[in-house]
């Protein structure tokens, strides 16, 4: 073993003393902490993936399709079919998870001397990817109820004139959606301050009571909608994220993407999953019902709950959220402490997993009353 520590290395100043992103990956019976889909892929899809990957394996001596045209065409069709807004291949870009999509966007539109803003608490990777790409990070405000206070947000944009604006809807970790009027107003505010890119992170939109904001893309060349197959498609292990935007944004991102970044195996697997969209979206309906059940039961037990449009629920309040997190873990259920004071987050699992979680928090409540 070496006793050299990170800070002994000549790392960039902004990385000194920092810790990497890391939700605990603990081996406990019920894991409801990373907003994964609890349902394994259905067996016919597993077979189809094996078939498609076998075919791809015959050509692994060659680089994959650098522009992933077949996959982008199929993703464009999925977006069109589910939103009613026509999306073409040239308006879609794909990468290894939406984290990589966001990284490519910040490499293209952020970077040294530039800034990005998000309205926090929100998805912590936006700030971390900003740091990794040398983009200055501005923590924008949210209201007491975790909604975006339009006036305060507009003021933060006008004062800071960021180059990139992140709007996560439904938001993680709070679960609530941002109304389309607020997104539109923030887009206008951002364009008035400085021509900037507005990224709407819709990782959880398939679980929403409302609609995707894809139709807002029309006539707004600085708007980007980012999506993922990690949640609704139940394929977090696949690592496939994508965006929809004006074709010029897709062209711009090509300036920073690594050549052949999406392996032939990834492309083949994602294409197989897209053939089974209907079955996978059926699971989404079950998860939405379970999410609503969690909200109702948590409230009945006496917890406060933030309205959720995602596959997870934020609940509280706790005097010491981390202590509550530990006590729930003692009962074999792993939830997430996102560092929002007083609140924890639970991902909707299978009905049995959710029952185990509800039993645990019911007992916790009894201990404290």
Rounded (5°) CA angle 114-119-122? 110
Which region, judged by CB under 6 A, interacts with ligand PMP, from 55-63, 97-105, 257-265, 339-347?
Answer: 97-105
Nearest distance from C-beta of residue 203 to ligand PMP, angstroms: 4
Binding of residue 118 to ligand PMP (CB under 6 A):
no
Instruction: Note the Cα 204 to chain centre separation in Å.
Output: 6
Q: Contacting ligand PMP (CB under 6 A), which of 154, 163, 201, 353?
A: 201
- Please report whether residue 303 would count as binding ligand PMP according to CB under 6 A: no
Cα 289 from chain centroid? 20
**Residue from 38, 97, 110, 136 in contact with ligand PMP (CB under 6 A):** 97
Q: With binding defined as CB under 6 A, does residue 241 bind ligand PMP?
A: yes
* Residue 337 touches ligand PMP, criterion: CB under 6 A: no
Cβ proximity to ligand PMP: between 164 and 358 the closer is 164
Is residue 311 part of the contact set for ligand PMP (CB under 6 A)? no
Binding residues for ligand PMP, total number by CB under 6 A: 13
Task: Tell me whether residue 228 or residue 354 sits nearer to ligand PMP (CB atom).
Answer: 228
For residues 17 to 46, the per-residue mask of contacts with ligand PMP, x marking binding by CB under 6 A and - elsewhere, is ------------------x-----------
Q: Which of 103, 182, 230, 267 touches ligand PMP by CB under 6 A? A: 230
123: contact with ligand PMP by CB under 6 A: yes
228 binds ligand PMP (CB under 6 A): yes
Verify binding: residue 187, ligand PMP, rule CB under 6 A: no
Instruction: For residue 163, count other CB atoms closer than 10 A to its CB.
Output: 22
Binding residues for ligand PMP (CB under 6 A)? 35, 97-99, 123, 168, 172, 201, 203, 228, 230, 236, 241
């Amino acid at each position: 073993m070496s006793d050299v520590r990170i800070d002994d290395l000549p790392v960039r100043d902004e990385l000194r003393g920092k810790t990497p992103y890391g939700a605990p990956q603990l081996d406990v019976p019920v894991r409801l902490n990373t907003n994964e889909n609890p349902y394994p892929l259905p067996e016919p899809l597993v077979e189809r993936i094996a078939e498609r990957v076998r075919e791809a394996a015959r050509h692994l001596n060659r680089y994959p399709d650098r522009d992933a045209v077949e996959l982008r065409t199929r993703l464009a069709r999925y977006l069109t079919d589910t939103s009613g807004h026509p999306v073409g291949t040239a308006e879609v870009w794909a990468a290894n998870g939406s984290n990589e999509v966001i990284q490519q966007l910040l490499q293209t539109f952020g970077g040294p001397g530039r800034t990005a803003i998000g309205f926090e608490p929100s998805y912590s990777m936006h700030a971390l990817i900003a740091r990794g790409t040398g983009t200055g990070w501005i923590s924008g405000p949210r209201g007491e109820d975790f909604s975006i206070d339009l006036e305060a947000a507009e003021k933060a944009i006008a004062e800071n004139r960021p180059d990139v604006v992140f709007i996560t809807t439904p938001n993680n970790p709070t679960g609530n959606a941002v109304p389309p009027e607020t997104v539109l107003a923030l887009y206008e505010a951002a364009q008035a301050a400085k021509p900037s890119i507005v990224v709407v992170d819709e990782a959880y939109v398939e679980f929403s009571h409302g609609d995707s904001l894809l139709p807002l893309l029309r006539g707004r060349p600085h708007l980007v909608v980012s999506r993922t197959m990690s949640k609704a498609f139940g394929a977090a292990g696949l690592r496939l994220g994508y965006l929809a935007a004006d074709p010029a944004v897709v062209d711009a991102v090509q300036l920073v993407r690594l050549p052949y970044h999406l392996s032939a195996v990834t492309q083949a697997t994602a294409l197989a999953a897209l053939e089974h969209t209907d079955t996978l979206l059926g699971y989404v309906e079950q998860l939405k019902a379970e999410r609503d059940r969690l909200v109702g039961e948590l409230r009945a037990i006496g917890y406060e709950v933030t309205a959720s449009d995602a596959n997870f629920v934020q609940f509280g309040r706790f005097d010491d959220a981390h202590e509550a997190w530990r006590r729930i873990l003692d009962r074999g259920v792993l939830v997430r402490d996102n560092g929002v004071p007083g609140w924890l987050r639970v991902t909707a699992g299978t009905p049995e997993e959710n029952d185990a979680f509800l039993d645990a928090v019911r007992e916790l409540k009894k201990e404290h009353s």
